[in-house]
């Protein structure tokens, strides 16, 4: 049985209770916070193994909470799943840009949400093998050990998922990977994610890379590749 601490930050009491009930049934140790401020404080003090974070919260939004946690070394490694009624592409991109590890829209099926929780927890903290050599493609430099991406203008800020996607594509320039291969490489096997989610993350990655984003090519009907 699982025993991980899952912090639920949700202002709707009915949804919070539903999440708490289903998590307890699976052996997790859930705790709840009803506002963004309370969630931020409890995350900093309790260091949960994962956070289910509503986007629309009173006073302090879920995006602000996510940015604050991912921007602090002490809490940056805590996985965050955004949980919200908003499902438009710009909202999904905003969540990933804030550092979220996954995104689930309401209404949701508890089994699907629990599968997402299990998959994110299974991945664990981002791997940072210090012995790996930096990758260079064009003027873009990718340092796996430092989890950094830079060009001649300085560092480029990426989320953990965006970094993993870039590292995977850049490790074999010119190779074409399907969306499923990218998901398996970045998230592991049996990760419940759609091809559309991969496309949304790829669009966000290209935008952050600026001119370098043109090195990521869409291969129609197949997937993506990276090259000079």
In what helix (H) or strand (E) does residue 150 lie, and over which residues does it extend?
strand 148-151
Distance of CA 178 to the CA centre of its chain: 19
Distance of CA 21 to the CA centre of its chain: 24
Tokens of 56: 């629309």
CA-closest candidate to residue 69, choices 56, 50, 86: 50
pLDDT confidence of residue 50: 95
Query: Is residue 1's pLDDT more than 60?
Result: no
pLDDT confidence of residue 130: 37
CB-based burial, 89-127: b 16+ in 10 Å, e otherwise: eebbbbbbbbbbbbbbeeebeeeebbebbbbbeebeebe
pLDDT confidence of residue 228: 60
pLDDT confidence of residue 98: 80
With a CB cutoff of 8 Å and minimum separation 6, the contacts of 193 are 102, 183, 187
Q: How many other C-beta atoms lie within 10 A of the C-beta of residue 218? A: 12
Query: Is residue 10's pLDDT more than 90?
Result: yes
Average pLDDT over residues 191-220: 84
Q: Give 37-72 pLDDT, tens digit per residue.
A: 999 999 999 999 999 999 889 889 999 999 899 888
Residue, of 59 and 10, whose pLDDT is higher: 10
Q: CA 182 to CA 166: how far, in whole Å?
A: 10
pLDDT confidence of residue 131: 36
pLDDT confidence of residue 73: 78
What are the structural domains of the chain? 5-123 (3.40.50.2300), 135-226 (1.10.10.10)
Residue, of 177 and 88, whose pLDDT is higher: 177
CA-closest candidate to residue 38, choices 9, 6, 62: 9
Average pLDDT over residues 202-224: 90
Distance of CA 9 to the CA centre of its chain: 17
pLDDT confidence of residue 42: 95
pLDDT confidence of residue 7: 97
Query: Is residue 121's pLDDT more than 70?
Result: yes
Q: CA 188 to CA 154: how far, in whole Å?
A: 31
Residue, of 117 and 99, whose pLDDT is higher: 117
Query: Is residue 28's pLDDT more than 90?
Result: yes
Place of tokens 């708490």: 20
pLDDT confidence of residue 87: 65
pLDDT confidence of residue 189: 56
Low-confidence winner among 67-76, 123-132, 193-202 (lowest mean pLDDT): 123-132
Half-sphere exposure of 216 (CA within 13 A, CB side): 26
Average pLDDT, the chain: 84
SS3 134: coil
Query: Is residue 105's pLDDT more than 70?
Result: yes
8-state DSSP, 212:
G
Query: Is residue 218's pLDDT more than 70?
Result: yes
Out of 43-52, 128-137, 186-195, give the one with best mean pLDDT: 43-52
């Amino acid at each position: 049985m699982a025993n991980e601490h899952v912090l639920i930050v949700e202002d709707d009491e009915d949804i919070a209770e539903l999440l708490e009930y289903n998590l307890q049934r699976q052996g997790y140790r859930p705790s709840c916070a009803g506002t963004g401020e309370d969630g931020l404080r409890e995350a900093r003090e309790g260091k949960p193994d994962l956070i289910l974070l509503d986007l629309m919260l009173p006073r302090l939004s879920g995006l602000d909470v996510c940015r604050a946690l991912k921007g602090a070394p002490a809490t940056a490694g805590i996985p965050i799943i955004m949980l919200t009624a908003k499902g438009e592409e710009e909202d999904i991109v905003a969540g990933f840009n804030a550092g979220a590890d996954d995104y689930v829209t309401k209404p949701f099926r508890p089994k699907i949400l629990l599968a997402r929780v299990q998959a994110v927890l299974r991945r664990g903290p981002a791997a940072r093998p210090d012995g790996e050599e930096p990758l260079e493609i064009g003027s873009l430099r990718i340092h796996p050990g430092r989890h950094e991406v830079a060009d001649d203008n300085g560092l480029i800020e990426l989320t953990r998922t965006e970094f993993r996607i870039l590292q995977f594509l850049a490790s074999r320039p010119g190779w074409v990977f399907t969306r499923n291969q990218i998901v398996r490489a970045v998230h592991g096997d049996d990760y419940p994610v759609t091809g559309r989610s991969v496309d949304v993350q790829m669009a966000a990655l290209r935008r952050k890379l600026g001119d370098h984003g043109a090195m990521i090519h869409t291969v129609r009907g197949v997937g993506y590749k990276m090259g000079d």
